[in-house]
């Protein structure tokens, strides 16, 4: 059995959290914050890298970068449908990251910002030294991120690279390198998680 003071303290904390969240929601709507619609296109896998988990990491990190109340990420299925319709209309002649294609996506979805990442290069090799030596992994990753803004009509491209040569371990390999590289890429795009105008 817990003492009454414990339940009273927990109840008070819950009440304070509820009030804080309610006030926060009220302040953001009262401040007139209008969320920008963001269409995140499926990543372009130029290097045809087979591990879907790595592609998923890139997509998830981009989606987490654009947070409410400043941004509203459009539903992935809605974006994929628009991309497939526009892609079939162009008969595959346009790449997802072409400025004209991104402009068409923004018009079709009424998106303020269109974002697409490209996994341009992925190389991973293992080396083992003779006579019971350590195993080393050499990795090279190149990511591009393309953005298009309807507001000012700006099209932007950012490139980040990573080259590592390290012993194989828990913190080596693409599952560690790709998230870090994606974070570096998102630091370079012209959109902050909390916009500077706010």
Question: pLDDT tens across 83-129, in order?
Answer: 888 877 665 567 889 999 999 999 999 999 999 999 999 988 888 87
The predicted model gives 68-83 an average pLDDT of 93
Minimum mean pLDDT range among 36-40, 79-83, 129-133, 192-196? 129-133
Domains belonging to the chain, first-starting first, are 32-188 (3.40.50)
Strand-pairing partners, residue 159, are: 144
Distance linking the first and last C-alpha atoms of the chain? 48
Burial of 3 (0-12, 13-18, 19+ CB in 10 A): exposed
Helix (H, G, I), strand (E, B) or coil at 175: helix
> How many angstroms separate the CA atoms of 78 and 76, rounded?
5
Minimum mean pLDDT range among 1-10, 49-58, 82-91? 1-10
């Amino acid at each position: 059995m817990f003492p009454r003071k414990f339940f009273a303290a927990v109840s008070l904390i819950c009440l304070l959290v509820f009030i804080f969240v309610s006030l926060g929601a009220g302040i953001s709507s009262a401040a007139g914050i209008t969320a920008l619609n963001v269409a995140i296109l499926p990543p372009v896998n130029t290097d045809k890298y087979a591990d879907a988990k790595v592609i998923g990491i890139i997509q998830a990190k981009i989606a987490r970068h654009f947070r409410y109340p400043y941004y509203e990420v459009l539903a992935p299925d809605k974006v994929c449908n628009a991309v497939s319709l526009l892609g079939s209309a162009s008969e595959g002649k346009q790449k997802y990251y072409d400025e004209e294609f991104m402009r068409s996506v923004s018009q079709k979805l009424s998106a303020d910002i269109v974002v697409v990442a490209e996994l341009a290069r992925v190389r991973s090799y293992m080396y083992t030294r003779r006579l019971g030596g350590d195993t080393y992994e050499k990795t090279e990753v190149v990511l591009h991120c393309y953005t298009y803004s309807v507001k000012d009509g700006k099209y932007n491209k950012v490139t980040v690279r990573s080259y590592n040569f390290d012993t194989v371990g828990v913190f080596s390999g693409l599952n560690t390198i790709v998230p870090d590289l994606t974070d570096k890429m998102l630091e370079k795009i012209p959109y902050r998680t909390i916009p500077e105008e706010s």
